[in-house]
Structure 1
Amino acid sequence: MTQLVCPEFDAFEAALYGVQGKYVLRSRQYRDWRLKMIDLDGAAIMLGKEGASTAYSGTGMPGYFNIFVPLSAQQYTIVNGHAFDADTIGWMSPERMFHIVAERAASWLTVAIAAPLVVRWCQSHADEFDLASLSDNFVCTGRGPVPALRSMIGRILQVERDDSAQLNFPNAAIVVRAELVDKVLRAVLDGNDRSLRYRIVQRHRWILDRALELLNSMPEGPILVDDLCAATGASERTIRNVFHHYLGMSPHRYLMLYRMHRIRSAILNAGPAATVSEICGRFGVWDFGRFAQLYCHYFGVIPSRTLGTRLSVKSS
């Protein structure tokens, strides 16, 4: 088992397996970020404990399917606009965008499964399930299969804690991996009743994906809601509804937080002659006092402290 304790969210974000994306902190961090992972050679279990309430946007890595199961604060978790409970799981297909909002710092588990294992399982169960839905992201609820999946993962974790060598025997690893894949896919497919779950309009998903692509591709400078409207061809009201539905906040607040993260990144990569005022000015900040208060609220230090620490590290 691999275990990490990360004082900052950046290291935690970089260590995630099977997905790639970005965190936006929705509150000030108040604890370390913790990650445990068991790699079963093609299927990996991750247990994460976040240090703040967050909004995470990302995609499944090429060649990997993922499930997401919140372990705490389920009622404060929203995935692709769907509220969760203890029996709800999210399914993420490779290279498909997804969005997870945790209104409180949460713990969760994920299972990443290599595509060949999913394909092999599907070939053996083509007469039991409608497998076409696995190619897209969705959220489902299974009152029987989900607890069974949790129970099995709990057993794997217990065995790993008590005698990790048991999982290292080749034949044992093959069996536990096969059983885990079976439990995951049965939980996903048994709970994927499209007649009972709310389907988000495809255009709204495209609007959000396009808006975030714009943010990631724009050079330094101010970004306004009008820019998002122009890039997506959507009205401000539609943009507002989409951001609230998927990310749990208004586009104005998201842009403010996104800009703050970009400024933090620019400060961390600043040269010796850089100043906080100059960096903030490049991103359209005009009220430095208000910005410094917000920055301190979310990151725990004032911007000049971040710059000073960064420059002292570079010079040492």
Structure 2
Amino acid sequence: MVVTGTGDWHEAEHVVSDAYFPHVLTPLTAGSEPHLQVRALPLGALRLTRIGWGAEVAVRTEHPGAYAVNIPLSGRIESVSGGHDVVSLPGQASVFRPDTTAAITRWTEGCEIVGVKLDRDYLHRELDRVLGRPDRRLPAQVDLSTAEGASWMALLRSVVEQVREGETLWQQPVVAEQLSGALASAFVLAVMPEESGAAVRPRIVKRVIDRIHEDPAQAWTAADMAEVAGVSVRRLQEGFRVYVGMSPRDYVLDVRLGRIHAELIGGVPSETSVTDVAMRWGITHTGRFAASYRRKYGVAPSATLRGVAG
């Protein structure tokens, strides 16, 4: 969904309500007109929306059934929700709980946000799986300048990039599931504090490795692997760093590369492309896959398919 420009406040409110959350909109400057910019991307249990009103406004909503994470790319948003007064600038994000009255009391004229809508039950499940403990006390604001906050933003930008590169690829359920799961897991890691705990034992890491080898094409997310291990995502990541020398995510990619390489060497039907093979093994970003394949095997996957090398 892409909407550019509308001079009617009622229409602007209707468009953004459909794209993000139902709300009541109030322009804060007498005689002003909206210069609306809206882009919306449904992604499984998530929805990404980019919104700019082009005028100073106030917004009131209850965010029915879902969390909202509003990330200013420019300008500022001032809000009140759940007893918290929050002012967010670029590098920060305001978090709004579902089914809770919230008011953005001032959305500045030059403010444009990326809004992330996360289904309540889906995010609660991811919180339980990622943290390895029941804890749903999300903060009212996220600092995106931290390492994990920056990592989440980088992943968010990567997803948008993938959508731009292949407008239909992300619409496939397995791709949408993998991208939304990765975004949700990274968000939880960005907003929740580090937990203490004993080091992960090698057998727990091996349990995850065995499951990955059984089905590397599965839409593995960090939360999926942590659930197999029975520990939090952070503890599993530390275990992989110590015993495997790479992150769980990189290990999944390495196993997939091996399966793809073996299939390309073995020969595939003439009508089958490298992309077909890569997607069959769970690859959703073909550009990054090609670069990773070249680093591992020294040639492009297309060269292996042609029998040139590899």
TM-score w.r.t. length of structure 1: 0.53
Name whichever of 149-158 and 106-115 sits farther off. Answer: 149-158
RCO comparison, higher one (Cα < 8 Å, 6+): 1
Tell me which protein shows more helix as a share of its residues: 1
* Segment of structure 1 superposing worse, 36-45 or 166-175: 166-175
Name the TM-score, length of structure 2 as normaliser: 0.54
* DSSP-derived class of the 2:95 partner: strand
Q: Separation in 1 of the partners of 2:150 and 2:28? A: 30
Distance 1:92 1:160 in 2: 26
Return the offset for 1:56.
1.2
- Distance in 1, matches of 2:60 and 2:10, equals 14
Asked whether the equivalents of residues 37 and 53 of structure 2 are also in contact (C-alpha less than 8 Å), the reply is yes
RMSD: 2.3
Moved more, 39-48 or 26-35: 26-35
Q: 1: distance between equivalents of 2:113 and 2:61?
A: 16
How much has 1:31 moved relative to structure 2?
Answer: 5.5
From 53, 57, 60, the equivalent of 1:57 is 60
**Which of 7, 18, 21 is matched with 1:19 structurally?**
21
Q: CA deviation at 1:107?
A: 0.6
Contact 1:43–1:177 (Cα < 8 Å) also in 2: yes
User: After superposition, where does 1:61-210 map in structure 2 within 5 Å?
Assistant: 61=64, 63-74=65-76, 77-80=77-80, 81-100=85-104, 101-127=106-132, 131-134=135-138, 138-144=140-146, 145-190=148-193
Work out which of the residue numbers 22, 33, 37 in structure 1 matches 2:36.
33
Distance 1:48 1:119, change over 3 A: same
Number of residue pairs aligned between Structure 1 and Structure 2? 184
Secondary structure at the aligned position of 1:158 is classed as helix
Q: Describe how 1:228-239 pairs up with structure 2 within 5 A.
A: none
Q: Any residues of structure 2 matched to 1:267-278 within 5 Å, and which?
A: none
- Kindly state the Cα deviation for residue 180 of structure 1 after the two structures are TM-superposed: 1.1
Q: How does 1:258-269 map to 2 (within 5 A)?
A: none
Change (3 A) 1:104 1:177: same
Q: Gaps spanning 5+ residues in structure 2: where? A: 195-310
1:167–1:173: 8 Å Cα contact kept in structure 2?
yes
1:64, CA displacement in angstroms?
1.1
CA shift in 2, pair 1:55/1:117, >3 Å: same
Residue in 1 that maps onto 2:236? none
Write the deviation string for residues 259-282 of structure 1: whole angstroms up to 9, x where unpaired. Answer: xxxxxxxxxxxxxxxxxxxxxxxx
| Pair 1:169–1:20, CA change in 2 (3 A) | closer
Contact 2:54 2:109 in 1 (8 A): no
User: Secondary structure, in 3 states, of the residue corresponding to 2:22?
Assistant: strand
Higher mean alpha-carbon deviation, 41-50 vs 12-21, is at: 12-21
Distance in 2 of aligned mates of 1:188 and 1:161: 27
Q: Which residue of 1 aligns with 2:7?
A: 7
Gap change, CA 1:104 and 1:167, over 3 Å in 2? same
User: How far 1:97 moved relative to its partner?
Assistant: 1.4
